[in-house]
């Protein structure tokens, strides 16, 4: 498919693509050629150079860093928000960090070393900082080092400033955060100074820089978060980055990536730990699996999986019985009280369903939401169905913040379920947030590459905004998927349209 930018030929784009890959590790496949072409044009416009001369300019070793820095601003605009992935941060709060803190107290070594790699605009490392302040009553006695790095200088500047709009708070926080922010005159919130000073922001290129070691003993890290980054690298570059991350961890340290990236972690030093929807990689001595110790806490079972096992990304299943070891261990927590919903008295399921339906009919949505919250960690099919009803009711009432909050809970519970992303994209599209909607739909395809409703939704959006070539690509992908289906199969999210009819409709659209 030819690029949309007429003054960039395929040869030039291919050459620039290779330079970007070599210097950043970011790989552009054929489907993203038009994205890259637009990014190049934007960079040329900002630098005030003609587009057709950009390749010659890149061959100038003095100019190349400036051009790459500018392009990177456009190709690495990451979506993030505070406490993104509630399941993960709940696990950090209730298990991983309290266990680590307890161990350090017993050793009388009050230090913590944490790295947020590819931190974007800073919400992730600041979330960690706030979490630690909530866990440590004696935080002033601790030597805490939180490093946050990114290749995008513009994002780092925003992170250092620490001022955020309401969009960065769309996930319900797992701790009270009101004391950690100060309102600004323009109706935004600025991170409180004591939290801001806990995080050190630095620019770093993950594929070029050496492993991280803290300047003072102990020299390696307790925790690294590197989420939604590796998927954009080539396979070779991704493997190198993983090795760098593994070398930066201490023995017993933890690496956290997104569920979609699990299949990219193949280091013999890292062992996969699967806890419901939380995936962790712990650094172990090689060949030490036979003497693994696992533990079970009030948070649930944790399974250790052999690091050399071959599980495709996004398709992990619970390991076989002989592959896991579960023993009991007693852990100390600052707060061992149960959440209030566990202690609540619930009515029977039939009565509760009638009450929920009645609340929705009366548009008493907040009470309906409270009823679902009382179920705790129950994400059974019936609960998911009720959550979807609640989301649509909130959206129909124009209360999009509440609707998005609940759909993000569904995503946090099962990040590999493409249907949740589809629902979120629809909410964003209803508000006219086209770019955000497209981004979420692409996340749906990361979770399930052949998820037909997402391909159709993306094609529909591109058609609506006049980007016909892009729409055609996704319609053609939809036809490819439909060719493998039974002609009478009903297509999800289409109100009963069978595969044969859907294929005919797409052919009509394509002419």
* 3 state DSSP class of 302: coil
pTM for the predicted model, two decimal places: 0.55
Beta-sheet pairing, 199-203 with 143-150: parallel
User: Mean per-residue pLDDT for 100-124?
Assistant: 93
For the segment 381-420, what is each residue's pLDDT rounded down to a tens digit?
Answer: 888 888 888 888 888 888 888 888 888 888 877 888 888 8
CA atoms of 60 and 115, how far apart (whole Å)? 34
Find the helix packing angle between 499-510 and 468-483, rounded to 10°: 150
For the segment 119-164, what is each residue's pLDDT rounded down to a tens digit?
Answer: 999 999 999 999 999 999 999 999 999 999 998 888 899 999 999 9
Residue 31: in which H helix or E strand, if any?
none
For the segment 244-272, what is each residue's pLDDT rounded down to a tens digit?
Answer: 899 899 999 999 998 778 878 889 999 98
Burial of 445 (0-12, 13-18, 19+ CB in 10 A): middle
CA atoms of 405 and 361, how far apart (whole Å)? 21
Helix segments in 59-192, DSSP class H:
64-75, 86-91, 97-107, 123-135, 153-161
CA atoms of 14 and 21, how far apart (whole Å)? 10
> What length does the chain have?
511
Beta-sheet pairing, 270-275 with 278-283: antiparallel
Where in the chain are all domains bearing CATH 3.40.50.150? 86-323
Closest by Cα among 173, 106, 101, 88 to 139: 101
pLDDT above 70 covers a percentage of the chain that reads 79
pLDDT computed for residue 349 by the predictor:
47
User: Mean per-residue pLDDT for 354-371?
Assistant: 83
For the segment 491-501, what is each residue's pLDDT rounded down to a tens digit?
Answer: 777 656 788 88
CA atoms of 319 and 308, how far apart (whole Å)? 13
CA atoms of 262 and 364, how far apart (whole Å)? 41
CA distances 91 to 31, 73, 173, 208, 297, Å, are: 36, 32, 13, 32, 11
Question: Which span out of 7-16, 78-87, 340-349 was modeled with the highest average pLDDT?
Answer: 78-87
Residues 306 and 287 sit within 8 Å (Cβ to Cβ)? no
Neighbours of 358 (CB within 10 A): 12
Q: Is the predicted pLDDT of residue 204 greater than 50, yes or no?
A: yes
Laid out side by side, the sheet with 303-305 consists of 199-203, 143-150, 111-117, 221-225, 249-256, 278-283, 270-275, 303-305
CA atoms of 435 and 425, how far apart (whole Å)? 10
Contacts of 380 (CB under 8 A, 6+ apart): none
- The architecture (CATH level 2) of 342-510 comes to Alpha Horseshoe (1.25)
- The architecture (CATH level 2) of 86-323 comes to 3-Layer(aba) Sandwich (3.40)
* 3 state DSSP class of 371: helix
Where in the chain are all domains bearing CATH 1.25.40.10? 342-510
Closest by Cα among 4, 6, 40 to 20: 40
CA 448 to chain centre: 15
CA atoms of 149 and 346, how far apart (whole Å)? 46
């Amino acid at each position: 498919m030819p690029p949309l930018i007429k003054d960039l030929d395929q040869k030039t784009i291919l050459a620039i693509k290779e330079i970007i890959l070599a210097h950043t590790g970011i790989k552009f496949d054929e489907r993203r050629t038009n994205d890259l072409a637009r990014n190049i044009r934007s960079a040329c416009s900002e630098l005030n150079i003609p587009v057709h001369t950009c390749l010659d300019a890149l061959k100038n070793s003095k100019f190349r860093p400036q051009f790459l820095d500018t392009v990177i601003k456009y190709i690495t605009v990451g979506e993030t928000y505070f406490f993104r992935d509630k399941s993960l941060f709940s696990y950090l709060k209730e298990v991983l960090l309290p266990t680590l803190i307890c161990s350090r107290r017993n050793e009388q070594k009050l230090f913590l070393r944490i790295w947020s790699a590819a931190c974007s605009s800073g919400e992730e490392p600041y979330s960690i900082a706030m979490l630690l302040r909530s866990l440590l009553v004696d935080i002033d006695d601790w030597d805490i080092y939180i490093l946050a790095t990114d290749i995008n200088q513009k994002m780092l500047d925003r992170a250092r400033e620490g001022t955020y709009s309401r969009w960065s708070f769309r996930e319900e926080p797992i701790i009270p955060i009101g004391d950690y922010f100060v309102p600004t005159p323009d109706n935004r919130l600025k991170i409180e100074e004591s939290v801001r000073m806990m995080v050190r922001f630095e620019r770093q290129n993950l594929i070029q820089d050496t492993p991280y070691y803290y300047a003072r003993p102990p020299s390696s890290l307790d925790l690294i978060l590197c989420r939604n980054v590796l998927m954009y690298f080539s396979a070779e570059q991704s493997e190198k980055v993983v090795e760098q991350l593994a070398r930066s961890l201490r023995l017993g340290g933890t690496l956290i990536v997104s569920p979609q990236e699990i299949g990219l972690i193949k280091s013999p030093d890292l062992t996969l730990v699967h806890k419901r929807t939380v995936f962790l990689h712990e650094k172990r001595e090689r060949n030490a699996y036979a003497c693994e110790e696992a533990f079970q806490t009030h948070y649930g079972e944790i399974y250790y999986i052999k690091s050399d096992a071959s599980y495709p990304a996004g398709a992990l299943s619970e390991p076989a019985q002989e592959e896991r070891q579960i023993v009991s261990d007693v852990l100390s927590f600052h707060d061992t009280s149960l959440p209030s919903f566990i202690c609540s008295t619930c009515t029977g399921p039939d009565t509760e369903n009638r009450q929920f339906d009645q609340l929705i009919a009366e548009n008493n949505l907040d009470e309906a939401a409270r009823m679902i919250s009382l179920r705790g960690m129950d994400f059974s099919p019936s609960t998911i169905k009720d959550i979807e009803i609640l989301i649509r009711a909130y959206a129909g009432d124009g209360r999009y913040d509440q609707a998005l909050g609940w759909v993000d809970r569904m995503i946090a519970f099962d990040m590999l379920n493409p249907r949740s992303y589809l629902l979120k994209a629809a909410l964003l599209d209803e508000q006219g947030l086209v770019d955000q909607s497209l981004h979420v739909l692409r996340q749906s395809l990361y979770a399930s590459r052949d998820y037909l409703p997402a391909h159709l939704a993306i094609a529909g959006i591109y058609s609506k905004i006049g980007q016909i070539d892009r729409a055609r690509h996704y319609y053609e992908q939809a036809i490819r998927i439909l060719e493998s289906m039974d002609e009478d199969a009903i297509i999800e999210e289409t109100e009963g349209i069978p595969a044969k009819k859907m294929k005919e409709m797409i052919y009509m659209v394509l002419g």
